[in-house]
Amino acid sequence: MTMRIRKVFFAAGLVSALLAGGSQVPAAAAGAPAPARTALGPCEQQADVEVFRKGGIPVLDWRENLEFDGRGTLWVSHIIKNRVEGYAPDGTLRTSFPVNGPGGLRRGPDGMMYVNYGVNPLATDGGIMRFDPAAAAPKPEKVVGGIRGINGLAIDAAGNFYLSRELATGIVKVRPDGTKDEEWTRAADVFGANGLEVVGDQLYASAITDTSSPVHRIPLNDPARRTTVTHLSRNLLDMKFLDDLTYADGSLVVASFRDGQLIRVDPDTGRSCVLASGLHMPSSVRVARGFGEHSARSTLFVVEASGRILKVTPR
């Protein structure tokens, strides 16, 4: 049984609570472009959360990842319905097209959008697809295939791809020409990575299958010199099931799938605090960029396994 299936079962066990109107997941339940600067405020202050787009049936309406193209569209991967969706700043659906098991979404240094495919547990193939966000009817094309068991995606300024694997050791590096950098992957000795974020010459990775819920820092030019920024779990019962993460105003913001939280982490000290709580199985968080009135200096967006898309504004 893969981690994705176990995560689905865990999420399914929370559906009744969500449908009953519970506002918080029970705690006891088992670069391409320069990083955006976001004013998150003091660590002790939480954020306001509002629904940008309503979800449907939890888990069945699972939205896995999201990314802004900087041109006014928010792109979302709908893992269960096998589609990538494009939303306008007012929340309306602009476009949608099929991708088998879409996962991590990122904008590349070339302005194109990239999305992992084959992320669902029954997929027989996996890899990366590319599409033009400016096209009236985007048509995804395969960049690289033959990589199963992937989830998260990051892209550095040189156009190299990094793919996380929840049940394997080593983050897969793929060069811009589609060839794999096997040596780099072996040196990036991280097991169970999920969220990935490139900040300058560093790659940050959250681990979903490590019981200590760590966040790692991996130098792009020397992956063997990785360090651990923090461990967010005290013990097995406190395991966070860390999902995607983003960088904002000098901090990392990590989605805790299990606890329904966004956790703010200082990458220099490892100090952490809860930025937002009461979410329904959040799987990804990104900083708004070029998205109408939603200022990149004050707004984060989140997708959930509940199907909702949330707008999170630090106080």
Cα distance from N-terminal residue to C-terminal residue, the chain: 41
DSSP per position, 281-306:
SEEEEEE--SBTTB-TTT-EEEEETT
Q: How far is CA 57 from CA 11, 251, 296, 312, in A?
A: 12, 33, 30, 22
- pTM comes to 0.87
Tens-digit pLDDT profile for residues 106-135: 999 999 999 999 998 778 899 999 999 999
Tens-digit pLDDT profile for residues 199-220: 999 999 999 999 999 999 999 9
- Predicted pLDDT of residue 36: 40
Burial class (CB in 10 A: 0-12, 13-18, 19+), 259: buried
User: Could you say which residues of the chain have pLDDT below 50?
Assistant: 1-3, 5-6, 9-39
- Predicted pLDDT of residue 201: 97
Q: Structure tokens of 206?
A: 């959250």
Distance (Å, whole) CA 129 – CA 127: 7
Residue 129, phi then psi, degrees to nearest 5: -120, 160
Handedness of CA 199, 154, 29, 280 (dihedral sign): positive
